[in-house]
A and B are shown apart, each in its own frame.
Chain A
Amino acid sequence: MGSEELDSELVRRAQAGDKAAFDLLVRKYQQKVINLVSRFVQDPSEAQDVAQETFIKAYRALNNFRGDSQFYTWIYRIAANTAKNHLASRSRKSPTWSVDVEDAEHFAGESGLKEYDNPENLLLTEEIKRTVFKAIENLPEDLKTAITLRELEGLSYEDIAQVMGCPIGTVRSRIFRARDAIDKELRPLLQ
């Protein structure tokens, strides 16, 4: 069992009314959804808006999700459709910038969500990357190997145990300690 089964468990709980379970799904897939939307929508702040809209649409349709497909393929499909609809609406508006009464509300709403489009967010991303890579450099070799095999190579705990010649429990512990050490540096940036 793995990530898909965890998603199914979270979806089941969210369908039963546990909003924290849906929050965890958002946290799990937000960067992937933003990356997907960014392929359609070039403007980063608009991509964030569309990604948000994607998750809100997904929540509203959650009770229709029967688990025939994986959750991530379902949310990616919603993201792609939302991005295409966004582009279509943009192309309808872009020829003229004269805004009528109805559109004014829409534009006002958009401008309210453009708070991510600022230098601070760009700097934050760079700061996060720098901090994480620096923290990895400072890790003991066994922790660095374990987290690299897991995150970059995508190996399972069993495979990492074989590669490193240690029990699975040790692998589990090493990966946790690596994350915990990096998190100590990362946390202040995100609070």
Chain B
Amino acid sequence: MNEPQEMLSGLLDDWKGDHDDRAALDRVLADVNERARWQRYQMIGEVMRHELPERIQADFSASVMAHIEQLDMPPATAVAQDRPRKAAASWWSSLLRPAAGLSVAVAVAFVAVTSLTRSPGPSGVSAPVVTASSSAVPSDPRIEQLAQLPVLAPSVKVSAAGSGTPAGREATGSLPVRRDNAAIKRKLNGYLVDHNQYAGSLQGIIPQVRVVAAGAQN
């Protein structure tokens, strides 16, 4: 007795939906020859009941399935589930894009303000120096490691205290600040002139006028 085939025969008449039936159905679905056997078993009953059509096409189901394969459709439910996810993503991106732009603008403004406040005022009093002493900020081993690198040492010309000695980073932990006011002024003025030239050209004002004006101030 061939038990799997007897199970298949039983499925045709008496599906109970139990574990054995599901296992038998799995076997049938996994094997096209078993599905063909299913069809022939069923055809026997159709012949006995005189239900067979006048003409039969042996590969009818194969032809239908070939058409379906050509359609190659994704399940409609999967497409439907995907749609809200994409919509949510585009909503977030539309929200984040201006926020990102704003944050960049704020960061640029902060850097500009910070760099201006660091430069010494007209009275020659140095601006407050940003310190990184171990008491104020918890020390990070990686920063400590970076600080030990020799490549940084040549750039440190003037100490934060203005003593003329090489900056004692180990002692104070302060960052080096340039005190060459005239050079800074010249450099800043140059930046402003360049900026005005580009900004002026965008606003429809002749750039040369602005350059002359900037030069006249000097």
Residues in A lying within 8 Å of B, measured CB to CB: 1-3, 5-6, 9, 13, 15-24, 26-28, 30-32, 34-35, 38, 44-45, 47-48, 51-52, 55-56, 59-60, 63-64, 115-117, 121-122, 124-125, 128-129, 132-133, 136, 147-148, 150-152, 156-157, 172-173, 175-176, 179-180, 182-183, 186-187, 190
Which residues in B have their C-beta under 8 angstroms from that of A152? 48-49
For residue B50, which residue of chain A has the nearest CB? A129
User: What residue in chain B is nearest A13 (Cβ atoms)?
Assistant: B29
On whether the beta carbons of A122 and B48 are closer than 8 Å, the reply is no
- List chain A residues, Cβ under 8 A from B58: 124, 190
Give Cα A40 to B191, complex, Å.
87
A48 to B67, CA, bound (A): 14
Contacting B67 at CB < 8 Å: which of A45, A52, A64, A183?
A52
- Given A23-B64, A64-B76, A150-B13; 11 other pairs, CB 8 A cutoff: A2-B14, A6-B17, A16-B75, A35-B51, A38-B53, A56-B68, A116-B55, A150-B45, A151-B48, A152-B49, A186-B43
User: CA of A135 to CA of B177 in the docked complex: distance in angstroms?
Assistant: 106
Given contacts A63-B76, A156-B14, A172-B6, contact A116 B57 (CB under 8 A): yes
Interface residue SS majority, chain A: helix
| Cross-chain contact of A24 among B15, B38, B75 (Cβ < 8 A) | B38
Whether A48 touches B48, Cβ cut-off 8 Å, given contacts A6-B11, A63-B75, is no
Most buried by B among A6, A13, A186: A6
Q: Which residues of B contact A63 (CB under 8 A)?
A: 75-77
Q: Flag if B55 contacts A48 (CB, 8 Å).
A: yes
Q: Are B41 and A35 in contact (CB under 8 A)?
A: no
Q: How large is the interface on B (under 10, 10 to 19, 20 to 34, 35 or more residues)?
A: 35 or more
Chain B residue, CB-CB nearest to A183: B40
- Report whether A26 and B60 are in contact in the complex, using a CB–CB cutoff of 8 Å: yes
Partner of A60, one of B14, B32, B53, B73: B73
B159: interface (CB < 8 Å): no
On chain B, the residues within 8 Å of A179 by CB distance are 9, 41, 44
Q: Which 10 A-B pairs have the closest CB atoms?
A: A6-B15, A176-B9, A151-B45, A63-B76, A176-B6, A27-B39, A20-B29, A132-B47, A26-B61, A121-B55
Query: Do A27 and B14 touch (CB < 8 A)?
Result: no
Query: Smallest CB–CB gap between A13 and chain B, Å?
Result: 7
CB under 8 Å from chain A, chain B span 166-203: none
Q: Is the CB of A23 within 8 A of B65?
A: yes
| Nearest A-chain residue to B79, judged by Cβ | A63
- Chain B min CB distance to A34 (Å): 5
